[in-house]
Amino acid sequence: MKKVKHSRTVASKRPARAVSKHGLASGKNPAGTNPKRVRAILAKLDEAYPAVTCALVHDNPFQLLIATILSAQCTDVRVNQVTSSLFQKYTKAEDFAYANPRELEAEIRPTGFFRSKTKSIQGASRQIIEEFGGEVPRTMERLLTLPGVARKTANVVLGTAFGISSGIVVDTHVQRLAGRLDLSRNTDAKKIEQDLMTIIPKDKWILFAHQLIWHGRRVCQARKPRCMECNLERICYSHDKTI
């Protein structure tokens, strides 16, 4: 009598793919980064926001630096309200550097975290005077040595004030939309920036960031995206669409 070999199912050893907070499977190469799809996204953003720029009101690179430091954990609208009078009282780096800290704290209090922001602003102002001849540095490496300046702030200043494409601004809006559009499956801002820099043409880095920020404020809002008004709706497959 022949022995019958019974087959048995062997469980796959392949680990299940993690799912991001956006409801998309994680991985190094999201489907959304297909070059054709990326070009379509850029074209739609160009249609909706052909010439947007930074919403922070400023007259020179130094004012933009101060405003960007103030914008941490604060809306641009509130920052603009504060700087409308702040920049009339403090007109140059020396004014900020050697101001009475308590007075400066009172001026910027509405932006939140006013004590730490005062230290950053005064420290950055002194360093600009003492090390950079009173001029805001034009390189990422030097900007990052200033107190209160990380890559986001440096990218804002370099891109908006000097037209230098050294990276892509990743704020909360860019972070959210990069996930919803499946352009990145990372949650860390630095990793998201690196992901975007590999798929977005360098000559679009500055405008692209501004476009996502404006789109995030006006349409693709955090709690309730206005998908019916979005010209990207047909190519977006985020799990939290409101349609």
Alpha helices in the chain (DSSP H): 35-48, 61-70, 76-89, 93-97, 101-108, 114-131, 140-143, 151-156, 162, 172-180, 189-199, 205-218
∠ CA 160-46-185, rounded to 5°: 80
Nearest Cα to Cα of residue 152 among 139, 133, 171: 171
Nearest Cα to Cα of residue 52 among 217, 239, 237: 217
Q: Give me the active site residues, please.
A: 152, 171
Of the chain, the end-to-end C-alpha distance in Å amounts to: 65
